[in-house]
């Protein structure tokens, strides 16, 4: 049996509907991690749906409780062949965001796979059931072709809390460090650079949320009687925000900026141009953000501060009164090399120096996603790119990191692994929104890419040395 045979088999599995049927079964599990009542479905997805399929592929499986949360369990599976072979750790998450059932257009349901041409709709199709099932089906076909010998050892970690900030993931991996030890990490999440461009990315930007609040008094006061006499918290907060980011989107606080873009990252990004917007996507604002950077560098190589929500008074029913307080919910996306713990002290000092120290700066709830990335010059990167090109007949797009956030630092820092992410979604997939979907051509190609990658990992020739 050959690599070409594995390609033929995995392509046939797609064309004959095997993947579609598997995905339909997965979508039917309502595994919303933000809803504590869905805990039974979370366990069922791992124990009744995933574990039997892994067992049939020669895995030993165990479901673990979350060390810090009542729900959001973990599954760890292992397929061992020899201590002389490299070990791969794979990852995915079976939880999804809330379904928002009423927001889906007529004829669609978040809990039923509906295929309309190339678009396959359902909650979790893009994020992340559809993606990790591509990897598992490709692996299954490679095992079938190769028989009892895969050529490497394999461990799989599936969590059920990523959409809730991955509670307990770091603690679990710290406690299971030996059990999860490996030579390489491969997972699929997030979007491709563009739908038609197979992509490899090596990490992610971090993300931390915070609040700015101006509270001057209790209640509101008539704007006719008090206008010109009372400070307006909405105006004051607007000036505070404008002092952090100017009207061109440029950060005004040096401590919030990275020290620069590493040469290897800049070289990688220099080869890329943002794809043209497609229907449903906004046009890029060419004059927004840090001057002197390309659009690609701004989203993958730089930090940004965004205002997610701003409230003063009662926007739903405005009245002629000066409000007593205002609040802005903000977020910083940051690249590797930045310490998020320095951001809020720097903002407080910046505001103090400008006489705006009446603005409270507070941490927001939720986990901080750390920034991390593998060096683009790492040997595993070239190996993966070569494998993808061999399968596709064209080069894949390399991104140093995703613009969004994933728990990559747990695998890169806690477990010390080189991290490779091969996404099977695309930017317009509507993940986290109504009408979430994946594209059938991307699925077909993703199955081929992963089958080729698994096949090549089982071949000694061309594979980087493992420790």
pLDDT, position 280: 66
Residues 125 and 212 in one domain: no
Residues 297 and 391 in one domain: no
Residues 345 and 245 in one domain: yes
Q: Indicate the pLDDT class of residue 467, thresholds 50, 70 and 90.
A: low
d(CA 43, CA 2): 38
Residues 433 and 336 in one domain: no
Q: Indicate the pLDDT class of residue 299, thresholds 50, 70 and 90.
A: very high
Residues 194 and 53 in one domain: yes
Residue linked to tokens 């979350």? 66
- CA quadruple 447, 449, 451, 453: dihedral sign: negative
Percent of the residues in the chain that have a pLDDT greater than 90, as a whole number: 93
Q: Examine residue 464 and state whether it is found in any structural domain, yes or no.
A: no
Q: Examine residue 277 and state whether it is found in any structural domain, yes or no.
A: no
Residues 94, 128 contacting (CB under 8 angstroms):
yes
Dump pLDDT digits (tens) for 221-231: 999 999 999 99
Across 131-148, average pLDDT: 96
Q: Examine residue 276 and state whether it is found in any structural domain, yes or no.
A: no
Closest CA to 160 of 258, 41, 324: 41
For 376, other C-beta atoms within 10 Å of its C-beta total 22
Specify which residues 333 forms β-bridges with. 207, 304
Please enumerate in sequence order all residues whose Cβ is within 8 A of that of 241, keeping only pairs 6 or more positions apart, or say none: 212, 307, 310, 328, 330
Question: How many domains does one find in the chain?
Answer: 2
At which of 335, 363, 391 does a domain end? 363
End-to-end CA distance of the chain: 29
The CB-side HSE value for 31 (13 A sphere, CA atoms) comes to: 31
Residues 123 and 260 in one domain: no
pLDDT, position 148: 80
Q: Examine residue 354 and state whether it is found in any structural domain, yes or no.
A: yes
Across 37-61, average pLDDT: 97
Preceding omega of 128 cis (within 30 degrees of 0): yes
Q: Indicate the pLDDT class of residue 369, thresholds 50, 70 and 90.
A: confident
Dump pLDDT digits (tens) for 398-456: 999 999 889 999 999 999 999 999 999 999 999 999 999 999 999 999 999 999 999 99
Dump pLDDT digits (tens) for 260-286: 999 999 999 999 988 877 666 788 898
pLDDT, position 274: 86
Please enumerate in sequence order all residues whose Cβ is within 8 A of that of 354, keeping only pairs 6 or more positions apart, or say none: 243
CATH code: domain of residue 380: 3.40.630.10
What are the C-alpha distances in Å from 182 to residues 136, 137, 323? 18, 21, 57
Q: Is the pLDDT of residue 294 over 90?
A: yes
pLDDT, position 279: 64
Residues 418 and 311 in one domain: no
Residues 47 and 170 in one domain: yes
The boundaries of the domain holding residue 238 are 206-269+290-363
Q: Examine residue 467 and state whether it is found in any structural domain, yes or no.
A: no
Residue linked to tokens 């926007």? 315
What are the C-alpha distances in Å from 370 to residues 2, 114, 151, 411, 436? 41, 36, 33, 11, 26
Dump pLDDT digits (tens) for 190-234: 999 999 999 999 999 999 999 999 999 999 999 999 999 999 999
């Amino acid at each position: 049996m050959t690599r070409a045979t594995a390609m033929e088999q995995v392509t046939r599995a797609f064309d004959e509907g095997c993947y579609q049927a598997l995905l339909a079964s997965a979508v039917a599990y309502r595994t919303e991690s933000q809803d504590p009542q869905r805990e039974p479905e979370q366990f069922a997805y791992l124990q009744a749906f995933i574990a039997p399929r892994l067992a049939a592929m020669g895995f030993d499986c165990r479901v673990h409780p979350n060390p810090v949360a009542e729900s959001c369990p973990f599954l760890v599976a292992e397929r061992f062949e020899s201590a002389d072979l490299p070990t791969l750790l794979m990852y995915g998450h079976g939880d999804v965001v809330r379904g928002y059932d009423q927001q889906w257009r007529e004829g669609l349901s978040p809990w039923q796979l509906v295929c309309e041409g190339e678009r396959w709709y359902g909650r979790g199709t893009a994020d992340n059931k559809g993606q990790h099932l591509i990897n598992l089906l490709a692996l299954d076909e490679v095992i079938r072709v190769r028989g009892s010998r895969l050529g490497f050892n394999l461990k799989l970690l599936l969590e059920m809390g990523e959409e809730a900030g991955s509670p307990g993931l770091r603690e679990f991996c710290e406690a299971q460090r030996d059990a999860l030890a490996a030579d390489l990490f491969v997972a699929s999440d997030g979007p491709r650079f563009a739908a038609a461009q197979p992509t490899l990315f090596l990490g992610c930007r971090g993300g931390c949320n915070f609040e700015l609040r101006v509270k001057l008094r209790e209640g509101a006061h008539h704007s006719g009687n008090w206008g010109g006499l009372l400070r307006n918290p909405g105006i004051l907060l607007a000036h505070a925000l404008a002092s952090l980011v100017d009207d061109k989107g440029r950060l005004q606080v040096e401590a919030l900026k990275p020290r620069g873009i590493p040469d290897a990252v800049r070289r990688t990004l220099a080869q890329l141009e943002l794809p043209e917007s497609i229907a449903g996507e906004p046009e890029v604002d060419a004059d927004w953000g840090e001057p002197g950077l390309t659009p690609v560098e701004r989203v993958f190589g730089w930090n940004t501060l965004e205002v997610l929500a701003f409230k003063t008074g009662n926007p739903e029913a405005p009245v002629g009164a000066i409000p007593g307080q205002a609040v802005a919910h903000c977020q910083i996306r940051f690249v590797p090399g930045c310490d998020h713990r320095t951001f809020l002290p720097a903002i407080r000092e910046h505001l103090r120096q400008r006489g705006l120290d009446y603005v409270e700066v507070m941490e927001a709830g939720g986990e901080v996603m750390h920034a991390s990335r593998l060096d683009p010059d790492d040997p595993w990167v070239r190996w993966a790119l070569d494998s993808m090109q061999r399968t596709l007949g064209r080069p894949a797009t390399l991104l140093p990191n995703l613009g969004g956030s994933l728990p990559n630092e747990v695998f890169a820092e806690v477990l010390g692994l080189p991290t490779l992410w091969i996404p099977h979604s695309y930017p317009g997939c509507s993940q986290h929104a109504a009408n979430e979907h994946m594209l059938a051509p991307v699925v077909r190609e993703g199955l081929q890419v992963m089958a080729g990658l698994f096949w090549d990992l089982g071949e000694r020739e061309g594979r980087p040395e493992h420790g």
